[in-house]
Amino acid sequence: MRHTTKLCVRGYHLDVYGHVNNARYLEFLEEARWRFFEEQDVIEAITGEALAMVVVNININYRRAALIHEELEIATEVTRVGNKSFVIHQEIAVAETGEMIADTDGTYVLFDNAIGTSVVIEGKYKELLDRLR
């Protein structure tokens, strides 16, 4: 299941070079993930049981700088669900042209806040994440 989120580049997203700073892309990607998970009722299903989805690895390929007033489209999809982790692929592109800005594959775990460690993805959590693929 592929989900898209649109964001407009604002002045406060820019660095001294006049383009979006590399660290800001992490915020854009996170916003898109939150919207995706909220729309699919994943946040409440997981956090209601004191779990969190935690990033354990993320690799970003920067293709070109995003500039002020560009509307960006961020595609988000779960591409793999394993025993203890799952992978989310995301792409940031210029909405109007489809020109690629950046793409990433991030690895996430379900983290149990009460015991302070990741947990096996099974049962309803596996079904929930599999539904998003």
Residues with a known catalytic role: 15
How far is it, in rounded angstroms, from Cα 126 to Cα 9?
35
Residues in the chain: 133
With a CB cutoff of 8 Å and minimum separation 6, the contacts of 114 are 50
Beta bridge partners of 75: 4, 91
